[in-house]
A and B are shown apart, each in its own frame.
Chain A
Amino acid sequence: MEEMSSWRQRLEHTITAPLLNTSRIYYLWIAFLLVVIGWGVYAFYGQLNDGLIVTDMRDRISWGLYISTFVFFIGISHAGTLISAILRITQARWRTPITRLAEFITVVALSCGAIFVIVDMGRVDRLFNIILYGRWQSPIVWDVLAVTTYLTGSIAYLFLPMIPDMAFLRDRLAGRVSAWRLRLYSILAVGWVGNAAQKRNLGSAMTVAMLLILPIAVSVHTVVSWIFGMTLREPWNSTIFGAFFVAGAIFSGIATLIIVMAILRKIYHLEEYIHEKHFIYLGYMMGAFALIMIYANISEFLTTGYKLEEGVEFHFNQLFREEYAGFYWFYMLGGLVLPGLIILLPWTRNFWGILVAAVFVDAGMWVERYFIVVTGLRVPLMPYEPSSYSPSWVEFSIMAAGFALFALLISIFVKIFPIMAHWEVEEDYELSLASAAPAPPPGAAAEPAGGAN
């Protein structure tokens, strides 16, 4: 029991430390992010004044960096909710220290992604026309619906498992943090005292949420792909586009989760809870999706390339031999094959290997999103010279601001809310002790013994 209580104290310390102490580096980091965002806002202000002429998009390549960043963000939003729901539904116990982070990445990535559709609009002032005159037949409206539904669902799914933690903070941090923060915790705790009825209700609410969130998550990236798939463009004319995008989304989502986990684990000393095995397990998932992506690419390119219909030859040349070949091969080899190999080979299957693989996956998937959009539009429709597109400084600035906003929201989050689901980690620990009382449990119990003092 001595050991258990010291384990509890350490957990409580780990959970509350980021909420109580803030270093100077943190403020510098926030200031840096705010500068990047401010610069992006300035660029966007110019774009509002002058129109989209400040970008390098033109009639023939009429979507570019903004739309690909949107697709990428919606992709990494699958990090959270989907992964955490899959793990919950399969009752994978190792999930407990990482679900909170995953769910938060979802909410933040969705919010950031949605901004990019708005940034891409020619008439931001008419945003609400979508609601006033929305047509069910339009993929854009499907998208607005799917993304807002997913965002609502993800916020609910983030909030539900946080209720007991809010109550915990409300009780434990009384007098140690500012009044507004306690007030926030107490509002968000919605009167949680932890009795059996509340626990039962929370359990059913979470089951409902996780059953609903799975089809919603799949639908979101499917309809994102249909923005492209519903047009008469040869490179986008594919029946597997929906499934392909969903697989890519989960793939890049896992990679993003691994990267964010690695960074926060280092900064907030979560090594006791997030072990190498978490990275390796997520690595296995990522490896599986790498294989799915390779398979999807082969079936996509083989069925079109074999027949080489009108426009396909041009598309293949630009992807594999000419303008974009360097990047595209980087995506295929560096973004799909290399991470797959890293996970496959035992001597690279460790924390650093998986982290490097995740970085390659995210870079590769960003490249893929960008080139799906740009090369799809570049195939000439009529007898004219193929257009070119290289994003302007405005586009790069706004994109940088988007990524800075992503980092900023996560940085702020970890200062207000607990990084890990305290009660779930604790419960998991207790369960593992209870279920394997005589022999030490493989994960949780072995660690604190070594890590004590």
Chain B
Amino acid sequence: MKRELKVEKKMMGKNDGGSGASDRDDRPGEPTQPPKVSRRGVLRLFGMAAAGAAPLILLPPVLQKASDAGRVVESQGEPAKGPGGRIRQWTMIIDLRSCDGCQSQGTPPQCTTACVEGHFAPEPMEWIQIFEHELPGGGTQFIPTPCQQCQNPPCVNVCPVAATFSTPEGTVLIDQDRCIGCRICMAACPYDRRFFNWGDPPVPPEALLADYSPEHQVPAKKGTVMKCDFCPDMVRAGTLPFCIQACPNDAIYYGDLEDDVATNGKEIVAASRFLSENQAYRLKEDKGTKPRVYYIPGHGEAVGRDTADEGRLPTEWPWVERVKGAKTWRR
């Protein structure tokens, strides 16, 4: 038929010594091969691709403006300012010499308990958690660990929707109304300080009245990430965070690096001197996260703890029991 004839012709062309490529181009119905790729052609292609991709780069900022919610201003208080009008830079200094994991009290760690009660943190979240770390010569030390409020926060870097963000005061907060629950921040955090609402978090009746903001994560929301928020709302109002108030040994100091002052509720120290003179360090400094939480080395010796006294009582969530049908999960 028609098609066959063409092939025949081409075969003849071959036999005649005619070039197959030249007659292929101008004959309808002939098989074609992809055209040869010239360098200029390739460059033009990449140019076109770049031009085509440009709207992709421009689009999200435009959308962000359009949605008028690119920022989280409404959910965040005005940054606190010191006497000179400079923005406060919140810090926490934890004196490990005074922390015995509440062994002497015979209770679960009071800082964790107060935090759990004050924030209605769902079980098993311990926004400030006492880790027991083995010492090189045997025995242990206790390390109360809140969110380290990094200045190079891996969690903020990876969040796809800016649900977790750094504030001018140097804290890291989470907007649970925006969080999509992808949990990449949990993978990114090198301190294991992020907690997920795997199920419907229990909410006590009194929490229903709470005015939610990223600085006051009450009530908890299913499918979102939570963590220690450093209680900037409390310190702005003139009270210390729950954990510090509750510490029986006054081991935790809260302060403002900008004003160079810190307090544990009993005494006031000059933050920089206090840090330097006591060889303060930060957790995993080699990770480059630049935490705002400092530690003064120790193992509870100031309150008479021996390194060989191992173990602490497990954290409890008494308020959860008051919520009917509360669901909890393992850590």
Return chain B residues, CB-CB under 8 Å to A134: 60, 63, 160-161
Is residue A227 contacting chain B, with contact meaning CB distance below 8 A? Answer: yes
Q: How far is the CB of A87 from chain B (nearest CB, A)?
A: 12
Q: Which residues of B contact A435 (CB under 8 A)?
A: 14, 20
Say yes or no: A382 contacts B184, CB within 8 Å. no
B147 to chain A, nearest CB (A): 13
**Hey, what's the 0/1 contact readout for B176-190 against A, CB within 8 Å counting as 1?**
001111111011111
Decide yes or no whether A203 CB sits under 8 A from chain B: yes
Instruction: Let me know if A51 and B222 touch, CB within 8 A.
Output: yes
Please list the 4 inter-chain residue pairs (A to B) with the smallest Cβ-Cβ separation, ordered nearest first.
Answer: A122-B181, A122-B223, A53-B199, A427-B31
B45 and A208: CB pair below 8 A?
yes
- Say yes or no: A437 contacts B14, CB within 8 Å: yes
**Is the CB of A4 closer than 8 A to any CB of chain B?**
yes
Q: Is B324 an interface residue (CB 8 A)?
A: no
Residues of B near A51 (CB, < 8 A) are 197-200, 222-223
Interface residues of A in 100-139 (CB under 8 A from B): 117, 120-123, 126-127, 129-139
Residues from chain B with a CB closer than 8 A to the CB of A206 are 34
Binds A, one of B129-137, B242-250, B273-281: B129-137
For residue A196, give the distance in angstroms from its CB to the closest CB of chain B: 5
Q: A134-B161, A434-B14 are in contact. Are A58 and B28 (CB under 8 A)?
A: no
Check A120 against B64 for contact (C-beta < 8 Å). no
Chain A residues, CB < 8 A from B289: 232
A131–B1 alpha-carbon span in the complex (Å)? 56
Q: Does B287 contact A (CB under 8 A)?
A: yes
Instruction: Kindly state the separation between the CA atoms of A132 and B66 in the bound complex, as whole angstroms.
Output: 9
> What are 13 sample pairs from A and B whose C-beta atoms fall under 8 A apart?
A51-B199, A91-B33, A121-B180, A122-B181, A130-B180, A133-B64, A134-B160, A195-B29, A196-B28, A212-B45, A227-B184, A230-B158, A384-B131
B285 within 8 A of A: no
Q: Do B26 and A196 touch across chains, with their CB atoms under 8 A apart?
A: yes
- Let me know if A194 is at the binding interface, CB within 8 A: yes
A204/B25 in contact, CB under 8 A: no
Query: What residue of chain B has the Cβ atom nearest to residue A212's Cβ?
Result: B49
Q: Do residues B4 and A137 form an inter-chain contact, with CB atoms below 8 A?
A: no
Is there a chain A Cβ closer than 8 Å to B299's Cβ?
no
CB of B34, distance to nearest CB on chain A (Å): 5
Bound-state Cα–Cα, A321 to B60, Å: 47
What chain B residues lie within 8 Å of A203 (beta carbons)?
32-35
Main secondary structure of the interface of B (DSSP, over half): loop
Asked if residues B331 and A133 are in contact (CB atoms below 8 Å), the reply is no
User: Is the C-beta of B224 less than 8 angstroms from some C-beta in chain A?
Assistant: yes
Which of B154, B183, B327 lies in contact with A53, CB distance below 8 A? B327
Known contacts A132-B64, A384-B192: A437-B31 contact under CB 8 Å: no
Q: Does B56 count as interface, using CB distance less than 8 angstroms?
A: yes
Task: List residues of chain B with CB within 8 A of the CB of A231.
Answer: 154, 158, 184, 187-188
Q: For window 175-230 of chain A, which residues contact chain B by CB distance below 8 Å?
A: 194-196, 199-200, 202-204, 206-208, 210-212, 227-228, 230
Asked if B183 and A199 make an inter-chain contact with CB atoms under 8 angstroms apart, the answer reads: no
Q: Specify which chain A residues have a CB less than 8 angstroms from the CB of B35 in the assembled complex.
A: 200, 203-204, 207
Contacts of B10 in A (CB 8 A): 430, 434
Report if B263 contacts A (CB, 8 A). Answer: no
Q: Which residues of B contact A (CB under 8 A)?
A: 1, 4, 7-8, 10-11, 14-15, 20, 25-35, 37, 41-42, 45, 49, 56-57, 60, 63-64, 67, 69-70, 124, 131-134, 143, 145, 154, 157-163, 178-184, 186-192, 194-200, 222-225, 287, 289, 327, 329-331
A230 in contact with B188 given A50-B199, A122-B179 (CB within 8 Å): yes
User: What number of A residues sit within 8 Å (CB to CB) of B?
Assistant: 73
A233 partner residues in chain B, CB cutoff 8 A? 187, 190
Query: Given A1-B4, A230-B188, A383-B132, does the pair A59, B194 have CB atoms closer than 8 Å?
Result: yes
Residues of B within 8 A of A127 (CB): 180
Contact A136 B32 (CB under 8 A): no
Check A122–B197 contact: CB distance below 8 A: yes
Which of B30, B42, B184, B196 is in CB contact (< 8 Å) with A140? B184
- Would you call A141 an interface residue if the criterion is a C-beta within 8 Å of the partner chain's C-beta atoms? yes
A145 within 8 Å of B by Cβ? yes
Measured CA separation A114–B223 after assembly (Å) = 19
Q: What's the minimum C-beta distance from B227 to chain A, rounded to whole angstroms?
A: 11
B297 to chain A, nearest CB (A): 16
Tell whether A316 is near chain B: CB-to-CB under 8 Å.
Answer: no
Do B200 and A50 have beta carbons less than 8 Å apart? yes
Any B CB within 8 A of the CB of A62: yes
Question: In the bound complex, how far is the Cα of B319 from the Cα of A162, in angstroms?
Answer: 64
A4 touches B180 (CB 8 A): no
Rounded to whole Å, the gap between the CB of B3 and the closest CB of chain A is 8
CB neighbours of B32 from chain A (8 A):
196, 199-200, 202-203
CB distance from A179 to the nearest CB of B (A): 28
A372–B325 CA distance with the chains assembled, in angstroms: 37
Interface string of A157-179 (1 = CB under 8 A from B): 00000000000000000000000
A74 at the interface (CB under 8 A from B): no
User: Is the CB of A10 closer than 8 A to any CB of chain B?
Assistant: no
- A60 interface residue, CB < 8 Å from B? yes
User: For A351, what are the chain B residues with a Cβ–Cβ distance below 8 Å?
Assistant: none
From A5, A57, A131, A210, residue with most partner B Cβ within 10 Å? A131
Q: Could you tell me if B186 and A437 are in contact, using CB atoms closer than 8 angstroms? A: no
A377: chain B residues at CB < 8 Å are 187
- The verdict on A132 contacting B133 (CB below 8 Å), with A58-B329, A382-B191 known, is no
Say yes or no: A52-B223 contact (C-beta < 8 A), given A4-B4, A126-B180, A434-B14: yes
Q: Are B181 and A232 in contact (CB under 8 A)?
A: no
